[in-house]
A and B are shown apart, each in its own frame.
Chain A
């Protein structure tokens, strides 16, 4: 028994990464960053998702998508609940503490639910692109033409529905191909949120910026996957904030806490209060700067 000899060859084994997508850089060695207010930017990012009742499995079925045989009324409606009810609870919660957030929005949501997206924008929140709908997944199995068309359509339809060209992009499940970064750049986007390897923005080789949206802190990971309670999720977020505020004070460099929430998960009646309490506690902290993704990217770019 033996493996092919090439399995013990390591052509990319050298200084830096095994790819050229971005250069290596250690957070603690970078020049300090400062925010206009406070030392921890709290970036709340809401996913606005529409799951067609006709799911597609290519390239892959999005997390949270239909699960039973057709027609899956159960999951179609439970997900749409987020757009009808949960997202409105979020908007009230943000108003209460004066927080501005980012809404990663399927183009289909902007087209189908203009009342929601108008209220999001009137509230001073940011809308970024989040594919066409929850069938619009990307991975390395997608052809270049299909992926280019998907990104282009998502940006064009979202822009048409909102009247504003988005600066940011979040892929479904943060899943990309090797071409995605260049396609996002070509379609005029400034930043994406998919790469979770850092805790401040950084620049890809092609000039696009990554604003890392920590997936470990999301309501999907902690509540839907790890099956913790909403209170446990909120406590973890507070622990994270405490640590980052201490680290910012110790290092003299600002930090960022990304809070990725989903209306059909955290917007439920029995969970929303934990989210509201978290927002209230954070807003009472002098280190807290509630900021939209584009504001963080702009502040960081001006200093980087």
Chain B
């Protein structure tokens, strides 16, 4: 990015109307990917000068134990529902989960899920890191995920969405193919980086379960309806040029017993529609890249 510049220079403006047609396999119109965040939050993390990890003095019992629900209960509930309807995960991973609860990571591997990095812990923030420190967390991510899953990470979602001006240039330099941190489009887009190439794949804050339940205060049924509306519109517009719909999830939210049933109905709807290319993030980026 252009550090200090009013326009960060991340991409060129490209109007939605009149774009070159992006085509998805088998004539599908919208690429749908599900992004479970498999996270580890520390109970007593060191303090960061710019951001507090927890609202309450440590231990923040509700904050910590709510998130721990993922790793004891709701990961498997969410993952089973995804598998039942043919949705693989592209995992935004706190890579230290590979050490703390390898059982959760192994379950994703067994289901054929793709892993990308969401930092070391979701309680360690990148703001104010030196270049050397940021390289250390990227190298740690590559090494840790490779050892735990055999996969080489291809993407990045910054830990707790914390960045530095160097982040995108650095992940491109390390050969990563996509970032999930930019929200400017409903199609895959090129990102301007110093070296190599980097694609921005649409992730989503707006239909992220966290936003649905804690920003927009939706019920489980309202959130499921939101996903269906999002899908219907992107599937229709994708006839002009292939669109991307991401469903970003946290098991401790979507896997609660009152929400998972309506969510399953949304997945059933999308899978049965026939216009969805249900894919992993890397496959979507590859298919787009091949058409550039």
Per DSSP, are chain A's interface residues mostly helix, strand or loop, or mixed?
loop
Contact partner of B42 among A12, A28, A171, A216, CB < 8 A? A12
Q: Show the binding face of A for B, using Cβ within 8 Å.
A: 1-4, 6-8, 10, 12-19, 24-28, 59-60, 139-141, 171, 173-178, 194-199, 212, 214-217, 222, 225-228, 232, 235-237, 239-244, 247, 255, 257
Q: Given A13-B99, A236-B220, A243-B260, A3–B65 Cβ distance below 8 Å?
A: no
7 interchain residue pairs of minimum CB distance: A140-B57, A197-B68, A2-B130, A240-B258, A226-B217, A197-B65, A240-B257
Q: Does B76 make an interface contact (CB < 8 A)?
A: yes
Compute how far the CA of A9 lies from the CA of B133 in the bound complex, rounded to whole angstroms.
Answer: 11
Contact B219 A232 (CB under 8 A): yes
Contact partner of A198 among B44, B60, B67, B69, CB < 8 A? B69
How many residues does chain B have at the interface if contact means C-beta atoms less than 8 Å apart? 54
1/0 per residue, CB under 8 A from A, across B53-95: the answer is 0001111111011111101110011000000000000000000
Chain A residues, CB < 8 A from B259 = 236, 239
Interface centre among B61, B68, B218 (most CB of A within 10 A): B61
Compute how far the CA of A194 lies from the CA of B213 in the bound complex, rounded to whole angstroms.
Answer: 21
Query: A179 to chain B: closest CB distance in Å?
Result: 10
Contact B61 A194 (CB under 8 A): yes
Q: Does B120 make an interface contact (CB < 8 A)?
A: yes
Contact A10 B120 (CB under 8 A): yes
Contact A217 B258 (CB under 8 A): yes
Chain A residues, CB < 8 A from B69 = 196-198
Q: Does B100 make an interface contact (CB < 8 A)?
A: yes
Contact A178 B257 (CB under 8 A): no
Compute how far the CA of A242 lies from the CA of B81 in the bound complex, rounded to whole angstroms.
Answer: 15
Query: B74 to chain A: closest CB distance in Å?
Result: 9
* Chain B 34-60 residues near chain A, CB threshold 8 A: 40, 42-44, 46, 48-49, 56-60
Chain B residues, CB < 8 A from A1 = 128-130
Contact B62 A239 (CB under 8 A): no
Contact A174 B62 (CB under 8 A): yes
* Other A-B pairs beyond A19-B59, A195-B61, A228-B217, 8, CB < 8 Å: A3-B48, A13-B100, A15-B99, A176-B59, A176-B61, A196-B66, A198-B73, A241-B257
Query: B123 to chain A: closest CB distance in Å?
Result: 10
Sample (8) of A-B pairs whose CB atoms are under 8 Å apart? A2-B128, A3-B48, A3-B49, A7-B46, A175-B60, A176-B59, A243-B258, A257-B257
Compute how far the CA of A232 lies from the CA of B137 in the bound complex, rounded to whole angstroms.
Answer: 43
Chain A residues, CB < 8 A from B124 = 7-8
Chain A residues, CB < 8 A from B99 = 13-15
